[in-house]
Amino acid sequence: MKKIKLIIALLVLVPILLVPIKLMSLGKKIELGNLKSYIFNQPSENNKGIEIDYLGTSCFIITYKGHTYLNDPFFSNPNFLELVSGKYPNRDTLINSLIPQKENISLITITHGHYDHCLDFPSFMPYFNNRAKIVASSSALLSLSPWIKNNKDLLQYPIERMAKPNWIYSSDKTFRIYPIHSEHQPHIGRIKLLTGAYEKPLAQAPGPVWQWLEGHTYSYLLDVMDNDTIVKRLLIASGEIPISSLEKLHELDQEKQIDLLFYPYWHKEKCGTKFEEAYQKLKPQKVIFHHWNNFFRDPNKPIQMIRSSDINNELKKKRTEGYPVSIMIPFSKTSI
């Protein structure tokens, strides 16, 4: 009987122990010099004055004529101990040099409720204007409710409660977004971690990693507007975009082609096929891969890639196959 109990205990413990071992080997040293030709650089003659700041993972800040849009407020890259304890160091100084000229954030989107997409939400709150709108799943908004309630001017748009999907405009009319239903990819094999959704507002903000539930996952079609004219159309993709959503995007393409597709590329096999499907359907002019950097890596340390992304070789391979793919380096900026 004791042997049987020991065997059962080992069968339970071994997979549990393998998880941190796998996570600890997630990052791989990256030689930035080898990626120089793949860094996104828009020709100046096509520049419309739209600035893009990339803070790593899926966090993008887009600014046009003094107005700012923010996607997935996360940049602090906590380590394993911090994630387990729920005690996170203050790294606001990392964004202070980027934000002052962008202190008019009028629209915020969150793709899903995992910590690596919204943990640093409170760090950006001082830069929201007094009519800022936040668009996310109901669950993500409920998880952020302890912080949101401290900003009474922040207008919430829980996507599932919308009568039907539609364009949502920033209060200054500079940006508009269209939520696109998407599906989070499995983490290990076919297993998705931290699924589930919140049904009621939380009394206090999530702490340890397991409290950050996915909720529902969305991508966002983003138009940068000048009065009623679309200056640029961008798609910030999250997870996999199912066929029905690709069909809707293709329908919206009739009004304006996608100029720039931001696509997650954390795993060359899990992401590769779905990326190619999305690209062939939408034919965007340019592509920027994101979510390839090691988001357990302190941002003050040299950048690592997620080992499974194999970003160096995948960029080379995709370019050879004719895909106009590039990346941005975390805490860098460009303009389009």
Residue 30 placed within a domain: no
Q: By mean pLDDT, which of 184-188, 212-216, 285-289 is the weakest?
A: 184-188
**23 within some domain:** no
In a domain, residue 46? The reply is yes
Name the helix (H) or strand (E) containing 134: strand 128-136
Predicted model pTM: 0.92
Q: At 62, which CATH number?
A: 3.60.15.10
Average pLDDT, the chain: 91
- Report yes or no on 95 lying in a domain: yes
Q: How far is CA 321 from CA 165, 187, 317, in A?
A: 35, 27, 6
H helix intervals, 25-156: 80-85, 93-96, 115-118, 121-124, 138-143, 145-148
In a domain, 18, yes or no: no
Per residue in 75-120, pLDDT tens?
A: 999 999 999 999 999 999 999 888 877 779 999 999 999 999 999 9
325 in any annotated domain: yes
Q: How many domains does the chain have?
A: 1
129 in any annotated domain = yes
> In the prediction, which pLDDT does 25 show?
66
Cβ(61)–Cβ(68) below 8 Å: yes
- In tens, the pLDDT along 111-167 reads 999 999 999 999 999 999 989 999 999 999 999 999 999 888 899 999 999 988 899
In this prediction, residue 18 carries a pLDDT of 45
Residue-range definition of the domain harbouring residue 93: 39-335
29 membership: H or E segment, kind and range: strand 27-29
* pLDDT higher than threshold 70 for residue 12: no
Given a cut of 80, whether residue 277 has pLDDT beyond it is yes
In this prediction, residue 191 carries a pLDDT of: 87
Residue 322 sits at φ, ψ, to 5 deg, of: 100, 5
